Amino acid sequence: MRVMLHKIHSKLHHFMAVPAILLFGLFFLYPLTQGIGISLTDSNGITAPNFVGLQNFIDFFKDDRARGDVLITVYFALGSAPLLNLFGLAYALFLDRKLAGRGLVRAIVYLPAVISPLIMGYIWYFILQPERGYLAHVLNGLGLGFLDVNWLGESTSALIVLIIVNVWQYVGMTMIVYLAGLQGIPAELYEASRIDGAGRWTTLRYVTLPLLYPSIKINVVTNIIGSLSVFEIIVALTDGGPGYATESLSIYIMRMLYGSFTGYSTAVALVLFVIILIPVVLFLRMTRKSEYEL
């Protein structure tokens, strides 16, 4: 009887995984295979599609606008993801202390993350309008009217503004994950480091950061994915302009889809999927080695 119960128990965990496998197949594998099939056609969403093989992918890599959008997307991610983690960690370290009103400060920092990025983008759009925006009134009131320029009208400054607004909105979400990790570190470790004479930076390097590896992995992966698939904040602030100077791949995909290039836009979406997958996989492999060394 005991042997039979052991066999049933050993097979039960396989059975419990069935719902997760079904959901994974239904919401990931099936759409992925369908997308691969559509990307190999000239589908326009209306007439019957014809098989074109890899022509959509060839057209993508020949398109100067598409290649430029890849660079813009990568530049945005290179600016946004590191800043989100740096400021999120700094906020978490500061607000992990026993400070008066820290709960209120945490709520204020986190609040923008729960607001729609499209709405937040429109708010910043009205703030940054030259001559008539709120920032212009503040600068003129302080006698700094010369700083009132069209920040969204130049390609370089527009991309910088987009990165800053994105970091400002989502730094609270990154902070919360780091706070959860910090609160899971036993206080005894900090006491032991103080007894051993370790300073603040030494404790941060050899105690806090190694034990924050799970939180770091979560934040880095989610920030890479979010930054490379950025969409709403760009639509609200610049709509990809001036020209195509701030157009991300996500916006390019949307415009190709609405232009009845369904097969081509699906192919570009698969390219974006690979662009996101590569840094995520590389980072996970690097951190797995680091955890093993610890």
In CATH, what number is assigned to the domain containing residue 193?
1.10.3720.10
Question: Which DSSP letter does residue 51 get?
Answer: B
- Band (pLDDT 50/70/90 cuts) for residue 6 is low
DSSP codes, 212-224: THHHHHHHHHHHH
User: Is 105:216 a contact under the CB 8 Å cutoff?
Assistant: no
Q: What percent of the chain has pLDDT over 70?
A: 93
pLDDT in the model for residue 148: 81
Spatial separation of the C-alpha atoms in residues 250 and 232, rounded to whole Å: 9
Residue 160 belongs to a domain:
yes
Residue 91 belongs to a domain:
yes
Residue 21 belongs to a domain:
no
pLDDT in the model for residue 250: 95
pLDDT in the model for residue 110: 93
Read off the pLDDT of each residue in 217-245 and give the average, rounded to a whole number.
93
With vertex at residue 206, the alpha carbon angle to CA 83 and CA 209, rounded to the nearest 5 degrees, is 30
* Per-residue tokens: 28: 């990931």
Look at the chain and report how many structural domains it folds into: 1
> 243's torsion region: left (phi>0), alpha (psi -120 to 50) or beta?
left
Cβ-count burial of 283 within 10 angstroms (0-12 exposed, 13-18 middle, 19+ buried)?
middle
Residue 185 belongs to a domain:
yes
CA distances (Å), origin 231, targets 64, 81, 166, 227:
20, 15, 11, 9
> Sign of torsion, CA 243 246 249 250?
negative
The predicted-structure confidence for 68-122, as pLDDT tens digits, reads as follows: 999 999 999 999 999 999 999 999 999 988 888 888 999 999 999 999 888 998 9
pLDDT in the model for residue 292: 42
Is pLDDT of 59 > 70?
Answer: yes
- Band (pLDDT 50/70/90 cuts) for residue 150 is confident
Residue 48 belongs to a domain:
no
> 196's torsion region: left (phi>0), alpha (psi -120 to 50) or beta?
alpha
Spatial separation of the C-alpha atoms in residues 85 and 87, rounded to whole Å: 6
pLDDT in the model for residue 101: 83
Residue 23 belongs to a domain:
no
Structural domain of 205: 64-293
Is pLDDT of 293 > 60?
Answer: no
CA distances (Å), origin 95, targets 2, 102, 180, 212:
53, 6, 12, 16
The 8 Å CB, 24+ separation contacts for 187-191 are: none
The predicted-structure confidence for 168-207, as pLDDT tens digits, reads as follows: 999 999 999 999 999 988 888 888 888 888 888 888 888 8
Question: Which DSSP letter does residue 284 get?
Answer: H
In the block, which residue shows the tokens 């003129």? Answer: 140
Is pLDDT of 149 > 90?
Answer: no
